[in-house]
Amino acid sequence: MGTPRFATLLCLGVILTACSREPVPEVKHYTIHGQIVRLDAKDKLATIKHQKIEGWMGAMTMDFPVRDEKDFSALHEGDKIDATVFVQGLDYWVGDVHTSP
């Protein structure tokens, strides 16, 4: 009698755990145009003075993580860039970076 009850409780626990997880927010994409002010190689952060990011935020200077090593290593202070800001919930980062004249 104890084994079927345990199996039922175990299945119920698995189902409740699976149902209680919050869905992963979708990744949104925004275009950013700006200039690299500072680079932090240790934390892979680029301080970017950017124009208004349509649909996300106004113009300002702020730090953006750069996850892709190739994108980060191609950046230099003073570079003007066009890139994509990826936003997932409260997490954000810059990628698909292209320098512009």
CATH of residue 43 = 2.40.50.320
Number of structural domains (the chain) is 1
Domain assignment present for residue 7? The answer is: no
Give the residue numbers spanning the domain of 56: 28-100
Domain assignment present for residue 8? The answer is: no
Domain assignment present for residue 87? The answer is: yes
45 C-beta neighbours (distance < 10 Å), count: 18
Domain assignment present for residue 11? The answer is: no
Tell me what the pLDDT averaged over the chain comes to: 88
The residue-averaged pLDDT of 59-68 equals: 98
Determine the pLDDT at residue 83: 97
Domain assignment present for residue 12? The answer is: no
Among 42, 43, 56, 44, which residue's Cα sits nearest to residue 84?
56
Q: How confident is the model at residue 24 (pLDDT cuts 50, 70, 90)?
A: confident
What pTM did the predictor assign?
A: 0.77
Domain assignment present for residue 9? The answer is: no
Determine the pLDDT at residue 12: 58
The residue-averaged pLDDT of 32-50 equals: 98
